[in-house]
Amino acid sequence: MMQMKSTSYNSSPWWILTRLSGSICLTGNHNIAAMCDNWKIQLKFVADVINNLNIGRGDHQIRIGVAGFATDSYKVFDIDQLFDKNVIKASVQGIRYTQGGTNTYKGLQEVNTMFQRDSRPSAPNYVIMLTDGKPTASYAGNTLAGVLSMATAVKSHARMMTVGITAAVSEPEPDRLMKSVCTAPWRENYWHTPDFLALDSIVGIVSKTICPELNP
């Protein structure tokens, strides 16, 4: 576990969580259960990173906001809404799995809108997007150009980081997208894990990217 020094960056991270992509979640109770297990692993990853950060109301403490997206996007909680670390972790781990498509455009749009309500616009902002697949092309705006355009809008407010999960994200098209969506250079802002269980291996580096003052 990593410990926080007494001082910290005045940062404001956002997480945007995608549902697990692929029609497998619709093919039967066993497969739905498996996908929901992976969803819980994804939520645990977010909660573990949050646990490493100095969360609170203070001017030099970190505040967290979370949005999600499937067929549509949704706000879980705003950045100025929750300040107790345990309450935030419980809220994150209580997010229910949502079936549907992967509307990356709407997810990014949701975060971009939420930034307009940020009470600390001068604080460094970070966005972490987790996904295991490419955007569903049938949704309005959810084209490669649309996603990149909305990602550019988000990056005008924040350092954008992306986490790709499973071999599906290693395929040429989603790999290029994840590297393009994140802030350059992508080698410092994009991580790929071969499966959901491997998310645990990047908790430390993601935490330290948000707050470089973290000590091992």
CATH code assigned at 65:
3.40.50.410
Q: Summarize pLDDT for 182-213 with one digit per residue, the tens.
A: 999 999 999 999 999 999 999 999 999 988 87
Is 107 part of any domain?
A: yes
pLDDT < 70 positions in the chain? 1-34, 214-216
Is 3 part of any domain?
A: no
| Cβ atoms within 10 Å of 80's Cβ, excluding its own | 14
Contact 155, 183 (CB under 8 A): yes
Is 1 part of any domain?
A: no
Is 198 part of any domain?
A: yes
* Whole-prediction pTM: 0.83
Is 17 part of any domain?
A: yes
168, amino acid identity = A
The count of domains in the chain is: 1
Is 23 part of any domain?
A: yes
Secondary structure of residue 94 in the 3-state scheme: coil
The pLDDT score that the predictor gives to residue 28 is 29
Tokens of 152: 């550019």
How far, in whole angstroms, is CA 100 from its chain's centroid? 18
The pLDDT score that the predictor gives to residue 67 is 86
Where in the sequence is the domain holding 139, given as residue range(s)? 12-210
The pLDDT score that the predictor gives to residue 16 is 59
Is 4 part of any domain?
A: no
| Cβ atoms within 10 Å of 56's Cβ, excluding its own | 14
